[in-house]
């Protein structure tokens, strides 16, 4: 996020399909921010004492609002960050699923667990930590928030949202959803604040934890501040997911999944298939199959039902992606498709394929956020695994093979990532923990593991 100068006391949202300014939102002044922090702390203390049934009722009501108005939320996402409408509807519906999932599962996962210590009564209780600051990115402006907020609220925490500036409208809409769903007014609040103010909120004793999804730079900055204040953090910092295609893989299926996984959300996803690693014996055939699918994509207006790839969310993101592509080509990569920004109005970048990619190139070692596919040839399985793990990131990954036992073994034991899928696209799923290792961050979201990240795991023993 661009740092805000003291004189710039507002955020402006811009339509990435046209470059036109949509709205200006004033930043919170210091006194207003303090009042919100105090109100949130008080509301959370009451919320922590609420019954699970009350929390579940609120989450189910939020799910109903998400589904009933999915088209409106999709329109908002399309305007603020360029997401194709069909994908925006799917995102809203996925948020509804997460709300319903935690409404159903949280009571069981947060119930006291008895422990036999040989004397008296002992058990483990799971109590809310307090108010959690959620610092969220623009690429999934609804899902990223609900992925954090649904389990946090189910556990009895309060949530303060500091969203990416370019999706401020989405951030305020989410606050309204929770209010309309019947949550106490200050249990979930959106803060229109800059980085300097966010640092102050992290340090504030009324905030007990921080969940951030964003860049490695942002993660390190937040971790430093939170560490000094001894605040619990969960950090999801992106990735450069390897999709490994082995010698016995079904190439048509692998190509279909790899292309879909690379272009999901117009390529702007932490768990997109950012590196296709294909063994030498199958590389040419895979490239041909994947190239045909890449050429069939349609880049265009996110409101057009035929569009599969929308604009990038901001002009600076498009420019950064192009620098990475050009730097890779200058270092020896071959551009098979695309490779130059489109001249139409808006922040569009063409579907691109780079081959002959190797160490030292941006396309090999950096995260490329956009519709740029990277094909890397490996000598054999061993070499493919070496390349897959030759990355600072460790968020997700996939392996394609006709031998399911082989795939399971490599996924579980050999590929260094927080999630590895066999013969399928990596996705975030409320039933599975989500998070990474290495520079992809720490901690987990979703599932039972994510639910318990922001609770006090308390031992209780009664003689």
Q: What is the pLDDT of residues 76-112, one digit of tens each?
A: 999 999 999 999 999 999 999 999 999 999 999 999 9
User: Which of the following is catalytic: 270, 377, 381, 453?
Assistant: 270
Number of neighbours of residue 275 by Cβ within 10 angstroms: 27
Average pLDDT over residues 441-459: 98
Decide if 70 is inside a domain.
Answer: yes
Dump pLDDT digits (tens) for 297-347.
999 999 999 999 999 999 999 999 999 999 999 999 999 999 998 888 999
Any idea what the CATH number is for the domain that residue 445 is in?
A: 3.40.605.10
Residue 428 lies in a domain: no
Mean pLDDT in residue range 116-137: 96
The verdict on 228 and 328 lying in the same domain is no
| Helix or strand run (H / E) with residue 97 | helix 85-109
Is this prediction's pTM over 0.85? yes
Q: Give alpha helix (H) positions in 110-194.
A: 143-154, 168-180
Same domain, 169 and 210: yes
- Same domain assignment for residues 251 and 172: no
pLDDT at 8: 60
Choose, from 91, 175, 236, 287, the residue flagged as catalytic.
236
226 and 274 within one domain: no
Catalytic annotation present for 270: yes
Asked if residue 144 and residue 193 are part of one domain, the reply reads yes
Whether 409 maps to a domain, the answer reads yes
Q: What is the pLDDT of residues 245-290, one digit of tens each?
A: 999 999 999 999 999 999 999 999 999 999 999 999 999 999 999 9
Residue range(s) defining the domain that contains residue 252: 242-422
Residue 4 — very low, low, confident or very high, per pLDDT cuts 50/70/90?
very low
Q: How are strands ordered across the β-sheet holding 232-236? A: 188-190, 158-162, 131-135, 207-213, 232-236, 441-442
Residue 227 exposed, middle or buried by CB count within 10 Å (0-12, 13-18, 19+): exposed
Using DSSP bridges, classify how beta strands 113-115 and 121-128 pair: parallel, antiparallel or unpaired: antiparallel
Residues 350 and 456 occupy one common structural domain: no
Asked whether residue 189 is assigned to any structural domain, the reply reads yes
Domain count, the chain: 2
Handedness of CA 52, 72, 21, 305 (dihedral sign): positive
Q: Considering only CA atoms, which of 159, 122, 138, 144 is closest in space to residue 44?
A: 159
- Domain shared by 216 and 267, yes or no: no
Same domain, 274 and 172: no
Residue 373 falls inside a structural domain: yes
pLDDT at 7 over 50: no
343: helix, coil or strand? Answer: coil
292 and 397 both lie in a single domain: yes
Q: Are residues 210 and 252 in the same domain?
A: no
Q: Are residues 224 and 270 in the same domain?
A: no
- Residue 427 included in any domain: no
62 shares its domain with 159: yes
Q: How far apart are CA 21 and CA 26, in angstroms?
A: 15
């Amino acid at each position: 996020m661009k740092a805000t100068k003291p004189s710039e006391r507002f955020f402006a949202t811009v339509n990435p399909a046209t470059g036109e300014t949509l709205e200006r939102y004033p930043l919170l002044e210091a006194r207003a921010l303090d009042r919100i922090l105090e109100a949130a702390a008080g509301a959370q203390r009451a919320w922590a004492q609420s019954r699970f049934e009350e929390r579940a009722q609120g989450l189910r009501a939020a799910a109903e609002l998400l589904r009933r108005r999915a088209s409106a939320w999709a329109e908002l996402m399309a305007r603020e960050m360029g997401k194709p409408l069909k994908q925006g509807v799917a995102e809203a519906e996925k948020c509804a699923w997460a709300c319903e999932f935690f409404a159903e599962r949280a009571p069981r996962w947060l119930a006291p667990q008895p422990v036999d210590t040989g004397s008296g009564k002992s058990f483990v209780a799971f109590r809310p930590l307090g108010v959690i600051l959620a610092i969220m990115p623009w690429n999934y402006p609804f899902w990223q928030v609900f992925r954090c907020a649904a389990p946090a609220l189910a556990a009895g925490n309060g949530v303060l949202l500091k969203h990416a500036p370019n999706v401020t409208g989405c951030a305020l809409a989410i606050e309204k959803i929770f209010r309309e769903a019947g949550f106490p007014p200050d249990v979930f609040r959106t803060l229109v604040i800059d980085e300097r103010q966010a640092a102050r909120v992290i340090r504030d004793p009324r905030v007990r934890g921080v969940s951030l999804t964003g860049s490695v730079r942002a993660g390190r900055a937040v971790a430093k501040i939170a560490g000094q204040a001894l605040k619990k953090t969960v950090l999801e910092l992106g990735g450069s997911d390897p999709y490994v295609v082995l010698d016995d893989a079904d190439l048509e299926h692998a190509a279909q999944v790899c292309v879909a996984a690379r272009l999901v959300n117009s390529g702007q996803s932490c768990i997109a298939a950012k590196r296709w690693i294909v063994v030498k014996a199958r590389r040419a055939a895979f490239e041909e199959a994947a190239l045909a699918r890449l050429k069939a994509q349609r880049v265009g207006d996110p409101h057009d039902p035929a569009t599969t790839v929308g604009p990038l969310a901001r002009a600076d993101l498009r420019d950064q992606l192009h620098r990475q592509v050009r730097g890779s080509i200058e270092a020896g990569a071959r551009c098979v498709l695309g490779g130059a920004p489109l001249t139409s109005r808006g922040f569009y970048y063409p579907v691109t394929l780079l081959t002959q990619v190797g160490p030292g190139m941006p396309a090999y070692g950096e995260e490329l956020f956009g519709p740029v596919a990277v094909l890397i040839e490996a000598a054999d399985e061993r070499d493919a695994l070496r390349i897959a793990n030759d990355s600072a990131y460790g968020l997700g990954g996939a392996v394609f093979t006709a031998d399911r036992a082989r795939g399971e073994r490599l996924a579980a034991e050999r590929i260094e990532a927080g999630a590895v899928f066999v013969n399928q696209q990596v996705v975030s799923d409320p039933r599975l923990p989500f998070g990474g290792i290495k520079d992809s961050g720490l901690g987990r979201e979703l599932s039972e593991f994510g639910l318990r990240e922001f609770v006090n795991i308390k031992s209780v023993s009664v003689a």
